[in-house]
């Protein structure tokens, strides 16, 4: 027995112990010192799944939901589970071919891997959903997943509500609300303005995923999850019945209607024509529909109530009168001896009336809308002797106009409002090299020249007159559900702007009397509603447009402003119908319908046929058809040039089509719309439009 080797047992023990010490050291390093592996383990196995809350609902003043949520379905596919399915039958259901089917499956695999469900087709049409739900058991690997979608139950108020779309990098940079690519965000209208309130608070669920990226269960028994908090509902001042009537009246017309409650600044209705079906931008075809709307030259996506800029025409006159009254330049009894034309300046300004005494005092002048009277009033204001200087006079006048809420953005709770324009001395200095006098811009006195207002501003100035000097910033949202003390969003709309309360009430009364006469005996007798004292003013503004490089005079814009009832104003309205004709013909009756609808909650049956008549009238100006034809053909030509596919382009070369177009455009029989030559950039100069022709 080699006993002498017994000491080696201790060496062997040492070797064993040493090895275990090395392992312990490495374990200590891995498990205690380094936290790299803990992070990597989380990356490996944790999937933070975002839970989207439902967006807030928007209600009108009668608690009717104008913008709501509904459920649509996405067809999801898990490529690894797709086995032994009847591809032909499936493709027949989906109305795709097998090549498309295969490419979509490959796309899905590429996007999320074969083990994760990926969208095969999003937002299924209801009938397709019904068909698929019946047969989904035949297709292992496919399933239907709910997805909340916005819905507009009244199909109305498209411009006000706006729509949601996928977030882009600009929005992600600008707002730190934690967006991720693919998230939906309000892209216009109230959806955009109140995004923060409507979006709610996203939740996070921690899921465990396995090595094949499948979600297998909740992590840590959901203790770390944060729940999603639903978006807050908006309560608006809107009256959806009034809104629908306004939209109906503007059908097939270019223009805008704004109705405000003067006491609160709450907007009762705001329509812009032409408009679009808001539901077309939520469903499965939203991309296509958006494309069509964006290419439409009549601009259905444009909210003309806040972005349309119009010369106010005669509707400016009450304001001009108030300025002159306040400056003490005229009194209620001041008159002007008008014989149908204002001749005090070098260029004559025509007046619609020539009978003597139609402008014998301010009340008559407003009722008859005498141009000479108000040209004179404007010149009095600019040449005001107390300022000794026309420049100061003009700037003082501008100060008044700005106080009426014109010439700058009002601050409505919709994005991208326009401010309109009120000219100042600088702009005339530029144009006339500082040699100008009150005659140069005398037509400002009748709401022409360089003054531009948005319909919203016109309605707001009516609120000012109705309120006798103060206004609240026009806005839609009255309150937000779950509002707390430190919610400051709506505070600015609670501020009373007493900008013109220094004008004595009796001066407002003088103007209001004149405006009431407009309806009783003046230009807007068509707008009379028995039992309601409406104060109103019509306007007919000349319009020009650059068409094919030429300045073309178009038909006049028909404008109407009013507030009612006179004693306790509850509604102030501004209406612009582009290229329609006299203010009294189109805009005035529209205003009276809206007043009647809002104040009596219905329209008398004998007047309903007038509503229908106006709604059915197509007043779309010809230039839209021309412009659309021109741009479509340009696109077709560009397409043909780019792709060599001339199928779209041939349509425009076909003589029959061109004759048809000529008839549509009421062109001279000898002139055909041009064939765009090889260079599509050439402008079709031959086009001539008879601007005065009516197409109805």
Partner 1 sequence: MTQRNTTITKGIDKSLIWLWLILSAIGIMSIFAATYRDGDNVLQSFISLKTEYSRQTAYFIIGSILGIFILLTDSKFFTATANLSYAFGIFLLLLVFPFHSRVKGTESIIRFGTAFQLQPADLCKVFVNLALAKYLSRVETDFGRPRSQLIAATIALSPAILSILQHELGLALVYFSFFLVMFREGLSPFILIIGFSFSVLVVATLLVEPNTLALVLTAIAGVAIYILRKQIRRHRNILFLIIGIWVVCVGVQRFVVPFAFDHALEPYQVKRIYDAIGKDYVPKNAEAALEIEQKAGGKKKGGDYNVKQSKIAIGSGGIIGKGLLKGTQTRYDFVPEQRTDFIFCTIGEGFGFTGSVVFLSIYLLLLMRIVTVAERQRSVFSRCYAYGVASVVFFHISINVCMTVGLAPVIGIPLPFVSYGGTSFITFTIMLFILIRLDADRQMVLR
**Sites of contact with partner 1 (CB under 8 A):** 1-2, 5-6, 8-9, 11-13, 15-17, 19-20, 22-24, 26-28, 30-32, 34, 36-38, 40-42, 44-46, 208-212, 216-217, 219
The nearer residue to partner 1, 41 or 341, going by C-beta atoms, is 41
Minimum distance of partner 1 from residue 48's CB (angstroms): 14
**Smallest distance, partner 1 to C-beta of residue 212, A:** 8
What's the min distance (Å) between Cβ of 191 and partner 1?
Answer: 40
User: Nearer Cβ to partner 1, position 1 or 426?
Assistant: 1
Smallest gap from Cβ 36 to partner 1, in A, equals 7
215 vs 661 by CB, closer to partner 1: 215
**Nearest C-alpha neighbor of 159 from the set 117, 127, 191, 121:** 191
Question: Cα–chain-centroid distance for residue 96?
Answer: 36
What's the token pair of residue 119? 């969208």
The residue among 37 and 544 lying less far from partner 1, judged by its C-beta, is: 37
Residue 9 or 169: which CB sits closer to partner 1? 9
Give min distance, CB of 118 to partner 1, in A: 19
Instruction: From residue 522, give the alpha-carbon distance in Å to each of 370, 375, 423.
Output: 11, 19, 30
Measure Cα distances from 344 to 317, 328, 377, 434 in Å.
Answer: 19, 21, 12, 21
- Closer Cβ to partner 1, 17 or 153, answer by number: 17
Q: Which is nearer to partner 1, 29 or 483 (CB)?
A: 29
Closer to partner 1 by CB, 24 or 432: give it.
24
Contacts of 658 (CB under 8 A, 6+ apart): 652, 672, 673, 675
Cα distance between residue 597 and residue 413, in whole Å: 25
Give SS3 for 307.
helix
Output 26 or 693, the one with its CB closest to partner 1. 26
Which residues are paired to 273 by β-bridges?
A: 255
Q: Which is nearer to partner 1, 115 or 657 (CB)?
A: 115
Specify the pairing of strand 234-236 against strand 58-59.
Answer: parallel
Q: Where are the beta strands (DSSP E) in 219-324?
A: 234-236, 255-261, 266-273
Nearer of residues 24 and 110 to partner 1, judged by Cβ: 24
* β-pair partners for 49: 205
Shortest distance (Å) from residue 220 CB to partner 1: 9
Report the 3 state secondary structure along 489-526. Answer: CCHHHHCEECCCCCCCHHHHHHHHHHHHHHHHCCCCHH
Contact 540, 558 (CB under 8 A): yes
Residue 128 Cβ vs partner 1, minimum distance, rounded to whole Å? 35
Pick 208 or 344: Cβ nearer partner 1: 208
User: In the complex, what is the shortest distance from the CB of residue 4 to partner 1, in angstroms, rounded to a whole number?
Assistant: 8
Residue ranges of alpha helices (H) inside 308-424 are 317-326, 362-368, 371-382, 390-403
Strand partners, 536: 562
- Nearest-approach distance from CB 224 to partner 1, in angstroms: 13
Residue 78: CB minimum distance to partner 1, A: 17
Distances in whole angstroms, Cα of residue 109 to Cα of each of 78, 79, 80, 517, 548: 8, 6, 9, 74, 51
Cβ-based nearer residue to partner 1, 31 or 333: 31
Q: Give strand pairing partners of 568.
A: none
Q: How far is the CB of 268 from partner 1 (least distance, A)?
A: 58
Nearest alpha carbon to residue 558 among 574, 537, 536, 576: 576
Concatenating the DSSP letter of every residue in 19-59 gives HHHHHHHHHHIIIII--HHHHHHHHHHEEEEEEPPPPPPEE
CB of 645 vs partner 1, minimal distance in Å: 42
Closest CA to 57 of 468, 362, 482, 398: 482
Gap between the Cα atoms of 207 and 216, Å rounded: 7
Q: Which is nearer to partner 1, 25 or 130 (CB)?
A: 25
Task: Pick between residue 29 and residue 389 the one whose CB is nearest to partner 1.
Answer: 29
**Total residues belonging to the chain:** 696
Element (H, E) at 527: none
Whole-number minimum distance, CB 184 to partner 1, in Å? Answer: 31
Bridging pattern class, strands 215-218 and 203-209: antiparallel
Minimal distance, residue 20 CB to partner 1, in Å: 5
CB of 50 to partner 1, least distance (A): 20
Cis peptide before 565 (omega within 30 of 0): yes
Q: Where are any strands of DSSP class E within 470-623?
A: 471-472, 477-480, 496-497, 535-547, 550-564, 571-577
Q: Which is nearer to partner 1, 19 or 608 (CB)?
A: 19
**Cβ-defined contacts of 624-628 (< 8 Å, 24+):** 624/254, 624/297, 624/298, 625/664, 625/665, 626/547, 626/548, 626/665, 626/687, 626/689, 627/297, 627/547, 628/296, 628/297, 628/298
CB of 218 to partner 1, least distance (A): 11
**For residues 238 and 64, what is the distance between their CA atoms, to the nearest angstrom?**
10
Contact criterion met (CB below 8 Å) for 544 and 554: yes
């Amino acid at each position: 027995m080699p006993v002498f080797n017994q000491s080696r047992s201790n060496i062997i023990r040492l070797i064993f112990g040493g090895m275990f010490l090395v392992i312990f050291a490495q374990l200590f390093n891995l498990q205690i010192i380094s936290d790299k592996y803990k992070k990597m383990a989380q990356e490996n196995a944790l999937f933070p799944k975002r839970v989207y809350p439902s967006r807030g609902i928007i209600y009108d003043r009668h608690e009717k939901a104008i913008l709501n949520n509904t459920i649509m379905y996405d067809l999801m596919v898990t490529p690894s589970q797709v086995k032994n399915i009847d591809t032909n039958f499936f493709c027949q259901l989906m109305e795709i071919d097998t090549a498309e089917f295969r490419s979509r499956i490959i796309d899905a695999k590429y996007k999320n891997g074969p083990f994760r469900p990926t969208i095969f087709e999003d937002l299924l049409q209801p009938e397709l959903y019904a068909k698929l739900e019946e047969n989904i058991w035949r297709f292992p690997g496919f399933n239907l997943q709910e997805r909340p979608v916005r819905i507009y139950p009244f199909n109305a108020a498209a411009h006000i509500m706006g729509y949601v779309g996928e977030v882009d990098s600009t929005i992600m940079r600008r707002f730190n609300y934690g967006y991720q690519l693919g998230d939906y965000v309000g892209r216009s209208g109230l959806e955009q303005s109140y995004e923060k309130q409507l979006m709610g608070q996203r939740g996070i669920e921690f899921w465990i995923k396995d090595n094949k990226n499948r979600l297998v269960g909740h992590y840590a028994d959901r203790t770390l999850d944060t729940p999603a908090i639903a978006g807050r509902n908006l309560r608006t001042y809107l009256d959806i019945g009034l809104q629908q009537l306004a939209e109906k009246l503007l059908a097939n017309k270019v223009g805008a209607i704004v109705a405000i409650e003067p006491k609160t600044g709450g907007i009762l209705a705001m329509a812009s024509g032409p408009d679009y079906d808001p539901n077309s931008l939520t469903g499965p075809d939203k991309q296509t529909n958006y494309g069509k709307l964006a290419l439409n030259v009549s601009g259905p996506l444009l909210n003309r109530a806040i972005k349309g800029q119009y010369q106010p025409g005669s509707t400016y006159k009450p304001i001009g009168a108030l300025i002159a009254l306040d400056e003490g330049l005229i009194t209620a009894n001041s008159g002007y001896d008008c014989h149908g034309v204002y001749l005090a300046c070098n260029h004559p300004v025509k007046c619609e009336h020539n009978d003597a005494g139609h402008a014998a005092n301010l009340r008559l002048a407003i009722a008859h809308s005498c141009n000479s009277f108000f040209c004179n009033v404007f010149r009095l204001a600019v040449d005001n002797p107390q300022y000794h200087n026309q420049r100061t006079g003009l700037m003082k006048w501008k100060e008044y106009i700005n106080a009426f809420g014109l010439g700058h953005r009002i601050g409505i709770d919709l994005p991208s409002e326009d401010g309109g324009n009120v000219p100042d001395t600088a702009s005339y200095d530029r144009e006339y090299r500082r040699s100008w006098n009150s005659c140069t811009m005398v037509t400002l006195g009748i709401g022409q020249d360089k003054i531009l207002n948005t319909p919203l501003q016109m309605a707001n100035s009516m609120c000012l007159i109705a309120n006798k000097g103060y206004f609240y910033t026009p806005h839609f949202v009255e309150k937000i559900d779950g509002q707390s003390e430190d919610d400051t969003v709506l505070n600015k709309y609670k501020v009373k702007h007493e900008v013109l309360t220094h004008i004595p009430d009796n001066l407002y009364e003088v103007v209001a009397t004149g405006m009431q006469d407009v309806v009783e005996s003046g230009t807007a007798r068509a707008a009379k509603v028995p039992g309601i004292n409406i104060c109103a003013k019509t306007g007919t503004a000349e319009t020009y447009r650059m068409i094919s490089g030429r300045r073309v005079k178009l038909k006049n814009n028909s404008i109407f402003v009013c507030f009612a009832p006179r004693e306790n104003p509850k509604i102030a309205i501004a209406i612009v119908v582009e290229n329609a004709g006299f203010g009294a013909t189109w805009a005035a009756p529209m205003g009276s319908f809206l007043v009647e609808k809002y104040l009596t909650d219905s329209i008398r049956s004998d007047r309903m046929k007038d509503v229908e008549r106006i709604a059915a009238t197509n007043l779309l100006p010809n230039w839209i058809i021309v412009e659309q034809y021109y741009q479509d053909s340009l696109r077709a030509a560009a397409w043909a040039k780019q792709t060599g596919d001339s199928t779209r382009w041939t349509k425009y070369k076909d003589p029959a089509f061109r004759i048809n177009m000529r008839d549509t455009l009421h062109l001279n029989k000898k002139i055909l719309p041009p064939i765009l030559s090889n260079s599509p950039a050439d402008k079709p100069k031959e086009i001539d439009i008879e601007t005065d022709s009516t197409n109805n």
